[in-house]
Structure 1
């Protein structure tokens, strides 16, 4: 029988400190002891169980069920999306499409402040939505380094810029995971997405200004103000509309794409009065030019991804997997034995819906990308 024990030591401060041990331990394992994420997580899990079972009187059956449920949720949808997103990225690299994408971005402007807005902010946000989990910072920092930035400064700029897109992550995982947490009925993915937008709108609008200020101070902000406004307004407005009315899945896909497109079009008419270069004596070498057809082909995997994820996140598609939906037979539910609580009188239920997962949408994109490419070999 589960009896909730929130103050096992009859001292609220002491009980709170004991309960906080796993959180503090996890942070210490990652930062002080430099442990790999998997080992830090396992260590923290063991300590959590050693605290929860004897002190907080958590039954072993329910504790075991919670571990299984947590592992299941880590694999589906989070792990599934991450694996598919990274695979899609690797395929675009293998096919040569990613190199064309890089060239198409760097050819827009030779001013390195504009390049930071394009690569450090917009392309960074796009990769966050398409792959996430460190990929955007690594790739964009490398690109900026190749364009003449100091490696440490390039990484710092990308980390600052990533604050705008990190909240929604790869295909909206950080917000979309709410769907798997079995929270009260009034807490939905769309609701959390809408709430997050209220805060993020301010951050999204300010970060492009901050990036240029870090590079070139107030003078840089003044000289590139029109371009900054194009980036800030386009990204903030499109992400706000998308997350409020659609959800988090495409929050870091469509807005960055539209932002890059808007800045590319704007840059044809506008270039800063003074072309800013970190190293003024450096010889400017333009990236390789590609035909419009080649650029469109290079971007095609992510265009396809956008369309498919839009379909997967649409209400009509999600309704297919409801109990009375046309594809409800493809949804499997499993009860975890030994996890029936005297409080809820219900066991933990695991739901397996492979077809409806966003990871499957990315997998479909991968298949289409391979069929469209002549350079991918396995």
Structure 2
């Protein structure tokens, strides 16, 4: 048996916390400052974490390496299982030319790239996050933004920044329900409190998106649409979380925002349009948009004349172009329907003790949760996405052999992304099982009244490390409550702040960066994307932390009261 130690370095919590953060420093410095490829950066971080776990935290070597193996497997299933099948669905639209029809359809709504960024990444991405999560909205939004004409790196940046406000209530509010299960606090109170925090972020995210796409000109010319989208999402999220349903908050917010923005665009248009063609002209490169391309690289060797015609002209049914994504939404909705959800909960998952692990927390007589592996085989989001792919095959009349070659080609393209994600999750599991993450949490909780400011930052660290708001809440939920009770603060406020602050760590998590890099077809570009988003992540979390601190004081304390 291994019992975690909170202060193994010279019996000092501070020194232990400084050592515990070393693997994270190794990871992000190599990735951001030295531009080392993501998988090498992750490998170096894993090596440093294992060394610290064995030498510093006195974890048995066998258990340390078993934790590495468990994390790597979790990276493969369910995380990569989701990504692989989400991109498989996209690839089916690509090889048949329907992706070009999708591009034309977006242009028919508005061919202004700034508006499309809000519609796709913010509105549609929120709906996907509401149902699937785990990187799926980033993977899908990125390819749709590229279809709208954005450059790959910019598309990845926009999708990552947009995937913030809906995360706390993503996957039918699994982060909030998990937080309630860990802390014992009422789920409705936690959801309501998060609903008084994340809407503040939502109001500003669309403005940031148009700034990313077109700089100050974008904000100056499209701020009315950005404000409509931000307010519609924020107000809907607030109202739904307070008085209707925590689980369906993002579904309502995403749908209301989409309808509100589409309605607003019927009576308002930007003074000037910024399209792919104008962007090319401004850069002095010219544009070949709309020209025929007989050797379209999106097509495969089996493409027929109809496929080539669609790829060249973008002609075809808009409903068929959207069909794969409508199928995804319908299947996820069915999976959450009462009887189906209950059946999947019983038959769609299998839990077992991970071999070689016998780990207990510093205090308590129950093993840490990660010693039990929960394998969601049938109910996994990736399985539902695979079924969506099979239905897309039937819808587009794609032969099995052709689809299988597309699937295999995806695996080849994703090989380094798969290595990266597995290593990052191995790092996360090593730090969590050894007790390094718990040491960080305890050190921050020992800062006294300043902890109200650090509370969302703790959630941000958890998501940056694990790539999951749910995992961050599992790690730090109890730490937040214990610190709040010790300091005389509202435990619901700080627990919710863990989840709300965590959403801002999503854009810099290596897992999500790897998903974005794979989606744009540029594995290895994680460091480039990271440098584009790190400033936004750091700036927003500092402002948000100050906001939560004010909520713990009389200045904004009125916002925490039950309505």
SS across alignment from 1:54: helix
Cα displacement (A) at 1:246: 5.5
Q: How does 1:40-79 map to 2 (within 5 A)?
A: 40-79=41-80
1:204 aligns to 2:205 (yes or no)? no
Change (3 A) 1:375 1:258: farther
d(CA) in 2 for partners of 1:265, 1:99: 25
Q: CA RMSD in A?
A: 4.3
Which residue is 2:353 aligned to? Answer: 335
SS across alignment from 2:52: helix
Which residue is 2:5 aligned to? Answer: 5
d(CA) in 2 for partners of 1:91, 1:7: 52
When the two structures are superposed, what TM-score results if normalisation uses the length of structure 1?
0.74
Change (3 A) 1:193 1:305: farther
d(CA) in 2 for partners of 1:237, 1:84: 33
Cα displacement (A) at 1:350: 1.9
Cα displacement (A) at 1:366: 1.0
d(CA) in 2 for partners of 1:47, 1:10: 21
1:186 aligns to 2:187 (yes or no)? no
Q: Residues 238-264 of structure 1: CA distance to partner in whole angstroms, max 9, x if unpaired?
A: 55677783648x94x775566445434
Cα displacement (A) at 1:209: 3.4
Tell me, yes or no, if the aligned pair for 1:308 and 1:365 is still in contact at 8 Å: yes
Higher helix proportion? 2
Shifted more, 294-303 versus 344-353: the winner is 344-353
Tell me, yes or no, if the aligned pair for 1:125 and 1:165 is still in contact at 8 Å: yes
Tell me, yes or no, if the aligned pair for 1:235 and 1:259 is still in contact at 8 Å: yes
Which residue is 2:537 aligned to? Answer: none
1:275 aligns to 2:269 (yes or no)? no
Cα displacement (A) at 1:345: 5.5
SS across alignment from 1:184: helix
Tell me, yes or no, if the aligned pair for 2:138 and 2:159 is still in contact at 8 Å: no
State the structure with bigger RCO (CA 8 A, min sep 6), 1 or 2. Answer: 2
Shifted more, 368-377 versus 282-291: the winner is 282-291
Tell me, yes or no, if the aligned pair for 2:334 and 2:340 is still in contact at 8 Å: yes
- Unmatched 5+ residue regions in structure 2? 291-312, 404-563
Tell me, yes or no, if the aligned pair for 1:197 and 1:243 is still in contact at 8 Å: yes
Change (3 A) 1:117 1:71: closer
Which residue is 1:17 aligned to? Answer: 18
Cα displacement (A) at 1:63: 2.3
d(CA) in 2 for partners of 1:265, 1:286: 28
Which residue is 2:320 aligned to? Answer: 297
Tell me, yes or no, if the aligned pair for 1:164 and 1:200 is still in contact at 8 Å: no
SS across alignment from 1:80: helix
SS across alignment from 1:350: strand
Q: How does 1:111-260 map to 2 (within 5 A)?
A: 111=112, 113-119=114-120, 121-122=122-123, 131-133=136-138, 136-137=141-142, 140=145, 143-145=148-150, 159=157, 162-166=160-164, 172=170, 176=174, 184=182, 186=184, 197-212=195-210, 214-216=215-217, 219-221=220-222, 225=224, 227-237=225-235, 245=245, 247=247, 251=250, 259-260=257-258
Change (3 A) 1:271 1:235: same
SS across alignment from 2:161: coil
Q: Residues 98-154 of structure 1: CA distance to partner in whole angstroms, max 9, x if unpaired?
A: 221211111223555544444564466668768345663465256344xxxxx5xx9
Cα displacement (A) at 1:312: 1.9
SS across alignment from 2:55: coil
Which residue is 2:102 aligned to? Answer: 101
- Unmatched 5+ residue regions in structure 1? 146-150
d(CA) in 2 for partners of 1:285, 1:266: 31
Cα displacement (A) at 1:77: 1.9
When the two structures are superposed, what TM-score results if normalisation uses the length of structure 2?
0.52
- Out of 372, 377, 381, the residue aligned to residue 354 of structure 1 is 377
Change (3 A) 1:2 1:159: same
1:37 aligns to 2:18 (yes or no)? no
Cα displacement (A) at 1:319: 2.5
Which residue is 1:148 aligned to? Answer: none
Shifted more, 90-99 versus 340-349: the winner is 340-349
- Out of 351, 372, 396, the residue aligned to residue 373 of structure 1 is 396
Tell me, yes or no, if the aligned pair for 1:95 and 1:374 is still in contact at 8 Å: no
Cα displacement (A) at 1:339: 2.4
SS across alignment from 2:58: coil
d(CA) in 1 for partners of 2:394, 2:183: 42
Tell me, yes or no, if the aligned pair for 2:120 and 2:141 is still in contact at 8 Å: no
